[in-house]
Amino acid sequence: MAAEKKPFHVAVVGGGIGGLCLAIGLLRQGVSVTLYEAASEFKEIGAGIGFGPNALRALEQIDPSLRASYETIQTSNPSPNRKSTWFQFQLGMKSQNWSKLQASTNPTEKITETWQDGQKVATVTAGKTGQLSFHRAHFLDILVALVPKDVPKFGKKLVDIEELEGGKLEMKFADGTTAQTDAVVGCDGVKSRTRALLLGPDHPAVSPRFTGKYAYRGLIPMEQAVEALGDEVARNSQLYMGHHGHVLTFPIEKGKTMNVVAFRSKEGEWGDEKWVLPMERWVMLRDYEGWGENVMKILSMIKRPDVWGLFDHPHAPTYYRKRFAILGDAAHASTPHQGAGAGQAVEDAFILSRLIGKISSADEIEKAFKAYDAIRRPRSQKVVETSRDAAAVYEFEDDSLGTDLEKVRATLEIRYKWIWDEDMNEHLRQAMELMD
């Protein structure tokens, strides 16, 4: 049954996963929405995206029909004994090479074990979901299908917001046009304009910071990957751990393609205005000198790698001011090391759309934003922090674990539970209580 129409209007700025999920959630709650997108159409860059059980539950709460839609495009591990595996963690280089590299950066730490390339470190399971991934463009399509044609306005790059007397907001766009609304939610991604408008241009938390990690991304036809690596290794998700780097692979497009993300560490700044750059294959291969057989086989199959500088946000002191809020990467951009960034945007959209769905006048919007901020900020910012920490574990940069594989295994097996198993309905209940 359609919800009763609310007597106020919400502007969503940015039509990525966060903005689209919010728009769908608000529409289901009877809120009229306009979505302003800077680009000329909806689009996603990159290939695969993994979703944890928490993100899938939040999606279904936003719109129950999304489950049937995502099931048509989801890919998971095909082997029966790998269905619940998120990643199989293993060493990605031989101990002799490891010792040499380790000695060059940390001469005091000696590798005493005889580590084998491919040696198992941990099998991390994610409930019934396991490794569940989508092709980004296909996932965006199922969201777009739920948004009526008159909701999105394209070519609308937001540049400024003015608070008007009486509480309404006026948005100014780069094309010289303006629009008024009762509330604005900025979902405009990691380089967010709305974040700068909310916090102030000179606030220390405005700009994203380089995390000291970058990643090569590539796609390999699964048949070719199987020929090189064997069925089990190629078709199921793997994470190869190594010295200041890690490489992960997982199947996408119903197993037709192997998605590869290969991470490395870099001291200092990223050093380029662009965060995504095309890269020569030989440069990538040089970056992994000394790595093991499977890693080198995987990388040499990538024909045209892109390299991505990885940035995240310092913690914002607030996600709202009066009738203006931020959501998704605009609020808490994270590194991808827990596969949880977009999932946090979906959780934000679930909680915020339900809170707004509960109020009955524009005067109450600030109250909804306040409860959203109180409930969502601690969890989403913890994801940003633990994501950085996770990379340090995968790359043996965590001093408390060193190269003790038993300690590494123990932390890997438990460290994602708080993200995946959290009860979002309980969070919503607490947020509703705060709002009342």
Which region, left, alpha or beta, applies to residue 152 given φ > 0 means left and ψ of -120 to 50 means alpha?
Answer: beta
17 contributes a contact to ligand FAD by CB under 6 A: yes
Return the range that interacts with ligand FAD (CB under 6 A); candidates 154-162, 251-259, 378-386, 404-412: 154-162
36 contributes a contact to ligand FAD by CB under 6 A: yes
Tokens of 413: 């097996």
CB of 316 to ligand FAD, least distance (A): 14
Per-residue buried b or exposed e for 34-43, using 16+ beta carbons within 10 Å of the residue's own CB:
bbbbbeeebe
161 contributes a contact to ligand FAD by CB under 6 A: no
329 contributes a contact to ligand FAD by CB under 6 A: yes
- In 3D, which of 236, 425, 214, 191 has the Cα closest to residue 328? 191
Separation of CA 276 from chain center: 16
CB of 168 to ligand FAD, least distance (A): 19
- Binds ligand FAD (CB under 6 A): choice among 53, 152, 339, 357: 339
62 contributes a contact to ligand FAD by CB under 6 A: no
Cα separation values, 79 from 76, 92, 235, 238, Å:
9, 22, 8, 13
Return the range that interacts with ligand FAD (CB under 6 A); candidates 79-87, 153-161, 352-360, 392-400: 153-161
The terminus-to-terminus CA distance of the chain in angstroms comes to 25
User: Do residues 431 and 355 touch, judged by C-beta distance below 8 A?
Assistant: yes
**How many CA atoms lie less than 13 Å away from 182 in the CB half-sphere?**
17
39 contributes a contact to ligand FAD by CB under 6 A: yes
User: Cβ closer to ligand FAD: 56 or 241?
Assistant: 56
Contact pattern from residue 341 through residue 360 relative to ligand FAD, giving x for each residue in contact according to CB under 6 A and a dash for the rest: xxx-x---------------
**217 counts as catalytic:** yes
Question: Could you identify the residue written with the tokens 């390339």?
Answer: 117
User: Do residues 206 and 186 touch, judged by C-beta distance below 8 A?
Assistant: no
- Binds ligand FAD (CB under 6 A): choice among 10, 25, 50, 95: 50
Q: Which of 217, 354, 376, 379 is catalytic?
A: 217
Residue 134: CB partners within 8 Å, gap ≥ 6?
48, 49, 51, 70, 73, 74, 75, 252
- Binds ligand FAD (CB under 6 A): choice among 19, 242, 305, 357: 19
- Binds ligand FAD (CB under 6 A): choice among 63, 188, 253, 347: 188
Torsion of CA 371, 376, 379, 380, to 10 degrees: -160
Contact pattern from residue 97 through residue 136 relative to ligand FAD, giving x for each residue in contact according to CB under 6 A and a dash for the rest: ----------------------------------------
Which residue(s) pair with 87 in the sheet?
Answer: 124
- Binds ligand FAD (CB under 6 A): choice among 215, 302, 326, 384: 215
Residue number closest to ligand FAD, CB atom: 16
User: Cβ closer to ligand FAD: 66 or 435?
Assistant: 66
User: Which residues in this chain contact ligand FAD in the complex, by CB under 6 A?
Assistant: 13-19, 36-39, 46, 49-50, 156-158, 187-189, 193, 215, 308, 328-330, 336, 339-343, 345
Q: Which residues are catalytic?
A: 217
